[in-house]
């Protein structure tokens, strides 16, 4: 009998509800705080997000229906395949069974459309005509541009100047989907004009791009523009749980009762939450599952930062969120996994770490690219630099299983393909890549700036 490489679900088996971890957490979530350190009311968020998404953001309902029209669009690539990494297992000589959920099959090439589509849909339902957002490396901008083309919304993406110049293909995909992608800082907002007047040659930053996108959304005189965020927030984690819910059904088809180890990389936390939260529910109910979040050594939010209240952006325009944070002024080294360079972590993922439902590991980028090359040359798919972090941790666990002689089941999230990120691979193969580790003093200095902020429980 030939062995089964991929496990597919039929379209009718795609989940009809998302799973919300919030009501199942052992310790309740701390609320976001507004100006003056007071808990934020939903109305205060209304100029930025539509009320139907704000309701999801604060929801304590365990299961939330996925609207039929959203399911229709997700069917363009979902259910995504669960793949057994036989070739990687053989290369490692491990007795472990390695499975991965391939989120690289989406139109944007990553998990991000799983939330871009429902976000665009809920905005349209609410009567919104246009979405604004920021993008660093371009993955989130691509996902939202795709979603807006499907739903029929105008979309404007502020792309960090340095990436805008270095990654011409990302902005071309956004244009192909009918979105406008402009370099940030731009002359189209007050904050952009101010910054350009002072520093015309600035490379820009995610913080500046966020500020511009929010400014444009809240200053629409017709009130028909809103802002959209690709990770970190509770409703984004919720939309991504379709990944883990599918994986559960697929593992059952493969005859596996439960995975022993689950691994995903962590930037803002959404692909990690998406794969692991449905299994975390089982862990809360007593299942023995090890859940590992992987981050770059150069941006050690989960492994070195404290659990605090902090802003999501440099300009302190966002509310304060309860999260592990390196401080909103922290600037991560220019590693190639651009999606993992965020200073904070999703409040839900932070709560899971605080409650010891997960553990975290930090890995240097050279080990990650080495893992990426091995994966490409065995399983045949080139992973995104972000995804190579999950692969490197998987390889460590598979080697451990070999030493212990244990036939463990390891499941990891293949968050995206790397066909748009080959410059990082080129640097690694040319031996031009360096590893970064911050001195403890730099980390301490950034935390100084938030030492008087309120503390979460
Ligand atoms: C954006 C991105 C990430 C990091 O974001 P999370 O919200 O932590 O998932 C990881 N992998 C890929 C391929 C991405 O595009």
Distance 357 CA to ligand 1 centre (A): 21
Q: How far does the centroid of ligand 1 lie from the alpha carbon of residue 340, in Å?
A: 7
Same domain flag for 219 and 243? no
Ligand 1, atom 2, lies closest to the CA of 339
- Does 303 lie in the same domain as 175? no
Answer whether residue 401 is part of any domain.
yes
Encode 392-402: b = buried (16+ Cβ within 10 Å), e = exposed: bbbbbbbeebb
- Residue 271 CA to ligand 1 center (angstroms) comes to 6
Ligand 1 atom at minimal distance to the Cα of residue 269: 8
- Structural domain includes residue 123: no
Nearest CA among 334, 339, 342 for reference residue 436? 334
317 and 385 assigned to the same domain: yes
Which residue among 206, 237, 339 has the greatest number of ligand 1 atoms within 8 angstroms of its CB, and so is best to mutate?
Answer: 339
**Cα(332)–Cα(342) distance, rounded to whole angstroms?**
7
Cα 200 to ligand 1 centroid, rounded to whole Å: 30
Indicate whether 70 and 135 sit together in one domain.
Answer: no
The ligand 1 atom nearest the CA atom of 109? 13
Whether residue 209 is contained in a domain is answered as yes
Terminal Cα distance for the chain, rounded: 55
Alpha-carbon span 23 to 91, nearest angstrom:
42
Least confident of 79-83, 198-202, 236-240, 388-392: 198-202
CA dihedral 430, 379, 10, 73 (to 10 degrees): 0
368 shares a domain with 245: yes
**Amino acid 314: pLDDT:** 77
**Are residues 206 and 281 located together in one domain of the fold?**
no
> Of 223, 258, 283, which marks where a domain is finished?
223
Ligand 1 atom 14: the closest Cα is on which residue? 339
Structure confidence at residue 175 (pLDDT): 97
Tell me: the pLDDT tens digits for 152-171? 999 999 999 988 988 889 99
Number of folded domains in the chain? 2
DSSP bridge partners of 64: 18
Q: What's the confidence (pLDDT) of residue 106?
A: 98
In a shared domain, residues 306 and 165: no
Domain boundary among 196, 223, 250: 223
User: Is 211 in the same domain as 317?
Assistant: no
Which pLDDT band holds residue 271 (cuts at 50, 70, 90)?
very high
Q: What is the pLDDT of residues 197-223, one digit of tens each?
A: 999 998 888 888 998 999 999 999 999
The answer to whether residue 124 sits within a structural domain is: no
Q: Which atom of ligand 1 is nearest to the CA of 230?
A: 7
Q: Is the pLDDT score of 187 beyond 90?
A: yes
User: At 324, which CATH number?
Assistant: 3.40.50.1100
Residue 266 CA to ligand 1 center (angstroms) comes to 7
pLDDT in tens, 358-384: 999 999 999 999 999 999 999 999 999
Q: Which residue has the CA at smallest separation from atom 1 of ligand 1?
A: 339
**CB-based contact 217:53 (threshold 8 Å):** no
Least confident of 13-27, 348-362, 431-445: 431-445
Q: Is residue 89 part of a domain?
A: yes
Residue nearest to ligand 1 atom 5, measured at CA? 267
Q: Does the structure show a pLDDT above 70 at 138?
A: yes
> Which numbered atom of ligand 1 lies nearest the CA of 108?
15
Q: What's the gap in Å between 144 CA and the centre of ligand 1?
A: 14
Are 330 and 430 contained in the same domain? Answer: yes
Going by pLDDT thresholds of 50, 70 and 90, the confidence category of residue 441 is confident
Distance (angstroms) between ligand 1 centre and the Cα of 93 equals 29
Q: What integer pLDDT is reported at residue 1 of this predicted model?
A: 60
At 208 the pLDDT is 86
Evaluate whether residue 10 is within a structural domain.
Answer: yes
Share of the chain above pLDDT 70, in %: 100
Q: Answer for the pair 322, 25: CB distance below 8 angstroms, yes or no.
A: no
Structure confidence at residue 186 (pLDDT): 97
Question: Which of 161, 196, 223 is where one domain is finished?
Answer: 223
The pLDDT score that the predictor gives to residue 206 is 83
**Structure-block tokens of residue 329:** 């002024």
Domain that holds residue 437: 6-17+61-109+234-448
Say if residue 311 is in the same domain as residue 440: yes
- Residue 241, pLDDT above cutoff 80: yes
d(CA 77, CA 151): 16
- The closest residue, in CA terms, to atom 7 on ligand 1 is 270
One domain for residues 196 and 81: no
**Residues 82, 154 share a domain:** no
In a domain, 121, yes or no: no
In the three-class reduction of DSSP (H, G, I as helix; E, B as strand; rest coil), residue 383 is classed as strand
């Amino acid at each position: 009998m030939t062995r089964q490489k991929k496990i597919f679900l039929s379209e009718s088996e795609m989940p009809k509800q998302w799973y919300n971890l919030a009501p199942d957490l052992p310790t309740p979530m701390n609320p976001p705080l507004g100006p003056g350190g007071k808990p934020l009311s939903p109305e205060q968020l209304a100029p930025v997000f539509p009320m139907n998404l704000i309701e999801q953001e604060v929801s304590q309902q365990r299961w939330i229906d996925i609207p039929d029209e959203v399911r229709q669009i997700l069917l363009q690539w979902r259910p995504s395949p669960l793949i057994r990494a036989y070739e990687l297992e053989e290369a490692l000589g491990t007795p472990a069974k390695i499975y991965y959920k391939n989120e690289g099959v989406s139109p944007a090439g990553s998990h991000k459309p799983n939330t871009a589509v429902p976000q665009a849909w809920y905005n349209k339902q609410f009567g919104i005509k246009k979405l604004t957002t920021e993008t660093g490396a371009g993955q989130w901008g691509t996902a939202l541009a795709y979603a807006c083309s499907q739903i029929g919304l105008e979309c404007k993406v502020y792309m960090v100047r340095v990436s805008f110049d270095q990654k011409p293909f990302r902005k071309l995909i956004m244009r192909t989907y009918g979105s406008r992608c402009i370099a940030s800082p731009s002359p189209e907002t007050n904050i952009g004009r101010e910054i350009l007047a002072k520093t015309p040659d600035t490379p820009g930053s995610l913080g500046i791009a966020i500020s511009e996108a929010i400014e444009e959304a809240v200053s629409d005189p017709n009130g028909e523009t809103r802002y959209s965020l690709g990770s970190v927030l509770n409703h984004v984690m919720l939309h991504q749980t379709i990944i883990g819910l599918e994986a559960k059904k697929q593992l059952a088809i493969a005859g596996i009762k439960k995975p022993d180890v689950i691994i995903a990389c962590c930037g803002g936390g959404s692909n990690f939450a998406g794969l692991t939260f449905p299994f975390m529910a089982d862990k809360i109910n007593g299942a023995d599952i090890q859940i590992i979040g992987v981050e770059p050594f150069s941006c050690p939010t989960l492994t070195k930062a404290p659990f605090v209240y902090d802003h999501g952006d440099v300009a302190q325009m966002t509310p304060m969120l309860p999260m592990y944070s390196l401080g909103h002024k922290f600037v991560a080294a220019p590693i190639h996994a651009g999606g993992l360079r965020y200073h904070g972590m999703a409040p839900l993922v932070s709560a899971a770490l605080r409650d010891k439902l997960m553990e975290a590991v930090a890995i240097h980028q050279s080990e990650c690219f080495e893992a990426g090359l091995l994966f490409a040359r065995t399983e045949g798919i080139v992973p995104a630099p972000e995804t190579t972090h999950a692969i490197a941790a998987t390889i460590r666990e598979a080697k451990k299983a070999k030493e212990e002689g244990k036939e463990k089941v390891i499941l990891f999230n293949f968050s995206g393909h790397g066909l748009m990120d080959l410059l990082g691979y080129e640097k690694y193969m040319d031996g031009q890549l360096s590893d970064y580790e911050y001195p403890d003093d730099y980390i301490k200095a950034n935390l100084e700036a938030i030492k008087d902020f309120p503390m979460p429980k």
